[in-house]
Amino acid sequence: MSDEIRLKAERLVRILKSRGWTVATAESMTGGLVAAAITSVPGVSEVFREGYVVYADEAKAARLNVRRDTLARHGSVSGECAGEMAENLEKLAQCDLALSITGFAGPTGGTADAPIGTVWFASSFHGTVATRMERISGDRDAVRRTATLKLLLWGLEALAGK
């Protein structure tokens, strides 16, 4: 784990602890890297509820209640899917902040509209859902690492709004 990822995870945990808030994660393309970064922080058990790695569409539907219609109409790499992942996770985990991520890390996958490196980030914080898409360049590992960092930053931004 890079120092930058570690520092952002530490900051996120510190803010959550100071406010008595909790967090949960739902990850597709990062395969648990975000949860691993957060749970590497000492004392995180006070704030981390749970994490899901939901690679397959079926897992997104079964574990996080992402609507099959959403997956069929928009695909798993979409703002709609990422938003439902976060919104539903906040309710399931009974947490204050739910973070989700889905995307194409490569080297295969992707579409004309959502090429390799397309990543959707979402947060649901006290019922307010926000999504954002970014395109990240690099090989599979670089895309996954950068996406992990950006989701931690996205979480910090969500907390800054409250």
Instruction: Please write the tens of the pLDDT for every residue from 96-135.
Output: 999 999 999 999 888 888 899 999 999 999 999 999 999 9
The mean pLDDT value for 15-39 works out to 98
Residue 162: per-residue pLDDT = 59
The answer to whether 22 and 16 are in contact (CB under 8 A) is yes
Question: Phi first, then psi: what are they for 157, rounded to 5°?
Answer: -65, -40
Short-list 157, 51, 55, 154, CA closest to 103: 55
Q: Which domains does the chain have, with CATH numbers?
A: 3-160 (3.90.950.20)
Residue type, 30: T
Residue 150: per-residue pLDDT = 98
pLDDT tens track for 48-84: 999 999 999 999 999 999 999 999 999 999 999 999 9
Please indicate, yes or no, whether the overall pTM of this predicted structure exceeds 0.95. yes
Distance CA 77, CA 150 (A): 16
